[in-house]
């Protein structure tokens, strides 16, 4: 019998040298696991690392309306393969959630979550070794998704609260990438940005789009809106206004505008792994064929059950109204948590933190890893990012805000 340790050594030779030095676990999931194991030992822990919405007792929120629809699904809505590019009715329903005026999804495919959509965008719009441009700070897995698809991430800065975007910095960065690689792919996680919890102002949006207009003669530009948190906004009207700005820009036709959509947060169906990569203002047979090829070659078909559920929801006005009420309830909950956190920070004589939407806010820290480490010693878990600390409002009850704020101040 071979010893297990020997098998381990054999494996190491099989694994490509370039793939031997990754961390064993995703850093955010690893922090979450550590927090949970300390809870299990009876410690009082504040866990603001998770990316799922929790109620004030730390239990995961699962939208009732969605689960009612899930229970109604028939075997044929669950078991058969979905079409390779996804059910067109599903894609259309996903697009109409944000652009109800559109009659059809345009060009697109169903993907395993928004992550799948982001991955497919790299495969189809960049050559190996090229750069994706995005706002900094950004959702950490962007690096992994880019890397696994042969690309890397470059950034332009999110403005500080109350300041205008640095359009010149964006112009310089985007021009540089276009001159270098002859094409540009931008992932814009707006509105309801992870991890800052903010959205671009109308003026910032106009400035970003103007830069793209000015540069599009240098090569094809693809603007991919990464829309993961739109149902959880302080002001839904602001979200709709942003979506309309992007739609108006898309129909100008100078830049290819698409969206990465997901049911993870939208329907609290994180584990169902459904999303979509769509180009709602484009009907292009070669783009459609390329996306189908990617689906077939990477994961075949995306899961059928969540697609069937979205189609059912689109036909059920009552369920839509109930779901809208649930979204409103949880958006108000996130809003009150953001206010509680700001209030507690101010009591500690620190600046408050603005929140416009999504599950997170970012707090400043000069040495984020060290501050996060000291917070951990005090039983408070947050995710260090290069620009500060990502704090999951989705897991931080208003009740815990004062303890959180005082631990944060002591840890700075
Ligand atoms: C900014 C952002 N984009 C995309 C996603 C993709 O999520 P999923 O693959 O679960 O749809 C997430 C999830 O946390 C996210 O935060």
Domain membership flag for residue 68: no
Looking at the CA of residue 112, tell me the nearest atom of ligand 1. Answer: 9
* Cα–Cα distance for residue pair 305/298, rounded to 1 Å: 19
Beta carbon of 111 within 6 Å of any ligand 1 atom: no
Same domain, yes or no: 232 and 155: yes
Same domain, yes or no: 31 and 150: no
Beta carbon of 189 within 6 Å of any ligand 1 atom: yes
* Cα–Cα distance for residue pair 303/113, rounded to 1 Å: 10
Choose the final residue of a domain: 298, 315, 332. 315
Closest-CA residue, ligand 1 atom 5, reads 114
Cα of 265 vs centre of ligand 1, distance in Å, is 8
Question: Which phi and psi angles does 73 have, rounded to 5°?
Answer: -60, 135
pTM: 0.96
Cα of 38 vs centre of ligand 1, distance in Å, is 27
Beta carbon of 112 within 6 Å of any ligand 1 atom: no
Beta carbon of 404 within 6 Å of any ligand 1 atom: no
Same domain, yes or no: 326 and 307: no
Q: What is the pLDDT along the chain (412 residues), one digit of tens a residue?
A: 555 555 555 567 888 999 988 887 777 888 889 998 999 999 999 999 988 999 999 999 999 999 999 999 999 999 999 999 999 999 999 999 999 999 999 999 999 999 999 999 999 999 999 999 999 999 999 999 999 999 999 999 999 999 999 999 999 999 999 999 999 999 999 999 999 999 999 999 999 999 999 999 999 999 999 999 999 999 999 999 999 999 999 999 999 999 999 999 999 999 999 999 999 999 999 999 999 999 999 999 999 999 999 999 999 999 999 999 999 999 999 999 999 999 999 999 999 999 999 999 999 999 999 999 999 999 999 999 999 999 999 999 999 999 999 999 999 9
Domain membership flag for residue 40: yes
Cα of 321 vs centre of ligand 1, distance in Å, is 25
Q: Domain total for the chain?
A: 2
Beta carbon of 194 within 6 Å of any ligand 1 atom: yes
pLDDT digits (tens, 9 = 90+) for 240-295: 999 999 999 999 999 999 999 999 999 999 999 999 999 999 999 999 999 999 99
Is-contact 195 360, C-beta < 8 A?
yes
Choose the final residue of a domain: 281, 315, 349. 315
Task: Specify the pLDDT at position 241.
Answer: 98
Cα of 181 vs centre of ligand 1, distance in Å, is 27
Beta carbon of 275 within 6 Å of any ligand 1 atom: yes
Looking at the CA of residue 270, tell me the nearest atom of ligand 1. Answer: 10
232 forms beta bridges with: none
Structural domain boundaries, residue 34? 23-52+321-411
* Cα–Cα distance for residue pair 391/199, rounded to 1 Å: 17
Task: Specify the pLDDT at position 11.
Answer: 66
Cα of 376 vs centre of ligand 1, distance in Å, is 25
Beta carbon of 392 within 6 Å of any ligand 1 atom: no
Taking each helix axis from N to C end, the angle separating 304-315 and 64-72, rounded to the nearest 10 degrees, works out to 110
Left if phi > 0, otherwise alpha if psi is -120 to 50, otherwise beta: which for 23? beta
Beta carbon of 232 within 6 Å of any ligand 1 atom: no
DSSP result, 1-17: ---HHHHHHHHHHHS-G
Domain membership flag for residue 42: yes
* Cα–Cα distance for residue pair 294/86, rounded to 1 Å: 12
Domain membership flag for residue 290: yes
> What is the 3-state composition of the chain as percent helix, strand, coil, each rounded to the nearest 5?
50, 15, 35
Cα of 229 vs centre of ligand 1, distance in Å, is 8
Taking each helix axis from N to C end, the angle separating 141-148 and 113-125, rounded to the nearest 10 degrees, works out to 40
Pocket test residue of 141, 144, 232, 260 for ligand 1, highest count of atoms within 8 A of CB: 141
Task: Specify the pLDDT at position 7.
Answer: 55
Instruction: Give the CA angle between residues 209, 214, 215 to the nearest 5°.
Output: 100
Same domain, yes or no: 262 and 329: no
Domain membership flag for residue 74: no
């Amino acid at each position: 019998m071979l010893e297990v340790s020997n098998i381990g050594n054999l494996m190491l030779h099989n694994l490509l040298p370039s793939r031997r030095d990754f961390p064993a676990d995703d850093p955010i999931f690893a922090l979450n696991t550590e927090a949970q194991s300390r809870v299990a030992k009876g410690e009082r822990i504040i866990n603001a690392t998770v990316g799922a919405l929790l109620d004030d007792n730390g239990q995961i929120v699962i939208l009732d309306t969605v689960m009612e629809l899930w229970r109604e699904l028939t075997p044929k809505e669950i078991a058969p393969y979905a079409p390779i590019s996804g059910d067109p009715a599903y894609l259309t329903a996903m697009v109409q959630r944000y652009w109800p005026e559109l009659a059809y999804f345009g060009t697109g495919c169903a993907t395993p979550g928004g992550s799948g959509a982001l991955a497919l965008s790299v495969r189809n719009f960049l050559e190996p070794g090229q750069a994706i441009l995005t706002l900094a700070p950004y959702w950490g897995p962007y690096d992994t998704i880019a890397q696994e698809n042969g690309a890397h991430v470059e950034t332009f800065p999110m403005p500080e609260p109350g300041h205008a975007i640095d359009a010149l910095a964006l112009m310089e960065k985007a021009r540089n990438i276009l001159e270098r690689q002859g094409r540009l792919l931008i992932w814009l996680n707006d509105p309801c940005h992870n991890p800052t919890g903010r959205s671009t102002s109308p003026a910032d949006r106009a400035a970003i789009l103007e830069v793209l207009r000015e540069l599009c003669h240098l090569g094809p530009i693809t603007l991919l809106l990464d829309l993961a948190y739109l149902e959880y906004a302080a002001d839904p009207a602001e979200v709709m206004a942003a979506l309309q700005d992007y739609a108006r820009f898309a129909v100008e036709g100078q830049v290819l505008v698409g969206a990465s959509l997901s049911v993870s947060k939208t329907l609290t169906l994180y584990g169902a792994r459904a999303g979509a990569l769509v180009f709602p203002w484009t009907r292009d047979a070669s783009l459609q064929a390329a996306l189908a090829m990617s689906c077939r070659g990477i994961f075949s078909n995306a899961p059928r059950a969540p697609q069937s559920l979205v189609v059912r929801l689109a036909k059920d006005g009552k369920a839509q109204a109930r779901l809208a009420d649930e979204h409103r309830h949880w958006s108000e909950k996130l809003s009150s948590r953001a206010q509680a956190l700001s209030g507690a920070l101010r009591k500690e004589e620190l600046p408050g933190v603005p929140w416009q939407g999504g599950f997170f806010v970012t707090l400043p820290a000069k040495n984020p890893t060290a501050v996060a480490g000291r917070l951990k010693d005090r039983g408070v878990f947050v995710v260090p990012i290069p620009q500060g600390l990502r704090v999951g409002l989705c897991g931080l009850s208003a009740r815990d805000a004062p303890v959180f704020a005082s631990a944060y101040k002591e840890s700075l």
